[in-house]
């Protein structure tokens, strides 16, 4: 089976062609760097994404947050629900941890903008 992907590893946005056998990428073409090959292989076997969103403070002010590392793509909506259900204390500063391990992934959710 062949899958067509657009690499999101760097700004080049290479159009990748991935040959897949038994759920594993066996060859990747179209990439201009190793990032594209690595992206394609992980996207086929275990896709992940960084989540960027906002959490609310007690006075309902939005605070920009993101996962500190990618989380499994299949858990994005579950992670968003946990983030939305969590109230952040102010002041909040870049790097402050809102959630230690979102949805048991081991990935923290951190503040990305100062809010006093």
How far from each other are the two terminal CA atoms of the chain, in whole angstroms? Answer: 52
Do 16 and 60 share a domain, yes or no?
A: no
Asked if residues 61 and 89 have their Cβ atoms less than 8 Å apart, the reply is no
Number of domains composing the chain: 2
For the chain, residues with pLDDT lower than 50 are none
Closest C-alpha among 83, 92, 95 to residue 63: 92
Distance, CA of 85 to CA of 67 (rounded, Å): 15
> Cβ contacts of residue 76 below 8 Å, gap of 6+?
49, 51
Q: Is residue 103 part of a domain?
A: yes
Distance, CA of 13 to CA of 100 (rounded, Å): 32
Q: Is residue 82 part of a domain?
A: yes
Do 25 and 72 share a domain, yes or no?
A: no
Do 106 and 61 share a domain, yes or no?
A: yes
Do 59 and 101 share a domain, yes or no?
A: yes
Distance, CA of 70 to CA of 98 (rounded, Å): 16
Q: Tell me the pTM.
A: 0.81
Do 59 and 39 share a domain, yes or no?
A: no
Q: Is residue 19 part of a domain?
A: yes
Expressed as residue numbers, the domain containing 103 is 52-111
Q: Is residue 116 part of a domain?
A: no
What's residue 23's pLDDT?
A: 87
């Amino acid at each position: 089976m062949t899958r067509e992907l657009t690499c999101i590893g760097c700004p080049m946005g290479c159009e990748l062609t991935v040959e897949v056998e038994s759920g594993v990428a066996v060859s990747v073409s179209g990439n201009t760097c190793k990032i594209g090959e690595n992206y394609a292989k992980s996207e086929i076997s275990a896709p992940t994404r960084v989540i960027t969103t906002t959490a609310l403070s007690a006075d309902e002010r939005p605070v920009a947050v993101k996962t500190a590392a990618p989380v499994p793509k299949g858990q994005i909506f579950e992670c968003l629900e946990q983030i939305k259900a969590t109230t952040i204390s102010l002041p909040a500063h870049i790097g402050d941890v809102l959630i230690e391990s979102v949805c048991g992934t081991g990935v923290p959710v951190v503040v990305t903008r100062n809010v006093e």
